[in-house]
Amino acid sequence: MEINEQLIQAVTKAVLEQLKQQKSVPVSEAPLAGRTRMRPKHSYAGYPKAVKSTDPKEIVIGVGAAFQEEIRATITGIPLSDVIQNVRAGIEEEGMHSRVVKVLDTSDVCFMALECAKFSGSGIGIGIQSKGTTVIHQRDLYPLSNLELFPQAPLMTLDTYRKIGRNAAKYVKGEKVTPIECTNDPMVRAKFQVKAALMHIVETEQLDPEMGMIEWEAKQ
């Protein structure tokens, strides 16, 4: 099947119509007609801003702006609470510990992960978009020169997230790290393109650059 602009527009229209009728769809619970936003703006007033750590065993996990609020599950329906639980479990299994922050000044997963690496005492950070895309980063690297990138969120499993936590901890320890094998499906992008775009819009709309990064530990 040829993927062209007409097909994308048709699929987008169909998805939006479905969103109007199904209130259980996580990215929108009401008709979009007349709206300028997908979801109301969330206030993080009163949340403490994230601080840099000097703990050499700490890995900072940065989650997207809509994480666990406007979006509660990945693009394939994995609860985000389970995602965080498994990443943290993998880190702990390797003798390290983690801190969770919410990144409110960018929705780009590479920049999210790099910011977290710079705030982490170990120099290693993990960025997780609400749709599930994940990056392991190191503070002295360029944004797109990360340690490991997991771009196909629809193919991620809880076991993958646990392995991500383990590998991040191994980078901290300076051990030999075997990159995580990921399934590759060339049809995934076409199948989930519209939903991914809608989820990204929701995430981006919740950005609050003035807040920057906030502590999100209480949500775990």
What is the residue-wise DSSP string for 170-216? Answer: HHHHT---PPPP----TTHHHHHHHHHHHHHHHHHHT--TTT-EEE-
Q: Are 158 and 86 in contact (CB under 8 A)?
A: yes
Give me the percent of the chain exceeding a pLDDT of 90: 73
Q: Are 194 and 8 in contact (CB under 8 A)?
A: yes
Q: What is the DSSP letter of 29?
A: S
Q: How many Å apart are CA 78 and CA 72, to the nearest integer? A: 8
- Residues sharing a CB contact under 8 Å with residue 5, sequence separation 6 or more, in sequence order: none
Give me the percent of the chain exceeding a pLDDT of 70: 82
Helix (H) or strand (E) holding 18: helix 5-21
Q: What is the 3-state secondary structure (H, E, C) of 172-184?
A: HHCCCCCCCCCCC
Is pLDDT of 32 > 50?
no
Please state the pTM of the whole predicted model.
0.84
Is pLDDT of 31 > 70?
no
Q: What is the DSSP letter of 26?
A: T
Flag the least confident range among 12-21, 106-115, 169-178.
Answer: 12-21
Q: What is residue 26's predicted lDDT score, i.e. its pLDDT?
A: 47
Q: Does domain 54-220 have CATH number 3.40.50.10150?
A: yes
